[in-house]
């Protein structure tokens, strides 16, 4: 029987992280958007179980202008360095940080599972880069 991998996004408030680097305008919020595989638990020393969170972008409520342009330039360069393990994400329906939009990838039982898993992550990244995740 084929296994289906479901991907969703997690929105993490990173305003405090960015405020140490550069002063930000009052009431400005900066969120990291992370891709994760639903139900996939990873076991690492300090966070057991945990979810692998892969940064796919940032969003902010900053108004258009030089600060927003600077922020997106900085964030894009930082995104590839932001992948990390986080607490296991289990409350998919009630947690407002979890997207209600998702992407499903059907695994072929006759193909190499590791290759398919890598393809699933790549396809989910591509999907969410063209279809902004929807949050509650």
CA-atom Rg of the chain in angstroms: 16
For residue 108, name the pLDDT band (cuts at 50, 70, 90). Answer: very high
| Domain spans in the chain, listed from the N-terminal domain onward | 4-130
Contacts of 93 (CB under 8 A, 6+ apart): none
Q: 51-79, pLDDT tens digit by residue?
A: 888 888 888 888 888 878 877 777 766 67
For residue 99, name the pLDDT band (cuts at 50, 70, 90). Answer: very high
pTM: 0.83
For residue 116, name the pLDDT band (cuts at 50, 70, 90). Answer: very high
What does the alpha-carbon distance between residue 37 and residue 109 come to, in Å, rounded to a whole number?
19
What does the alpha-carbon distance between residue 4 and residue 107 come to, in Å, rounded to a whole number?
6
What is the SS3 assignment for 109?
Answer: coil
What does the alpha-carbon distance between residue 108 and residue 60 come to, in Å, rounded to a whole number?
38
What does the alpha-carbon distance between residue 100 and residue 96 come to, in Å, rounded to a whole number?
9
pLDDT > 80? residue 22: no
């Amino acid at each position: 029987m084929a296994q289906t991998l479901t991907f969703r996004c997690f929105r993490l408030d990173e305003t405090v992280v960015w405020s140490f680097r550069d002063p930000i305008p009052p009431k400005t919020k900066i969120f990291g958007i992370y891709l994760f595989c639903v139900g996939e638990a990873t076991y690492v020393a300090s966070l057991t179980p945990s979810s692998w969170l892969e940064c796919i972008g940032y969003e902010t409520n900053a108004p258009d202008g030089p600060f927003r342009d600077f922020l997106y330039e900085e964030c894009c360069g930082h995104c590839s360095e932001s992948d990390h393990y986080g607490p296991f994400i289990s409350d998919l329906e009630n947690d407002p940080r979890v997207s209600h939009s998702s992407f499903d990838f059907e695994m072929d039982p006759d193909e190499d599972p590791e290759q398919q898993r890598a393809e699933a992550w790549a396809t989910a990244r591509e999907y969410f880069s063209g279809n902004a995740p929807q949050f509650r």
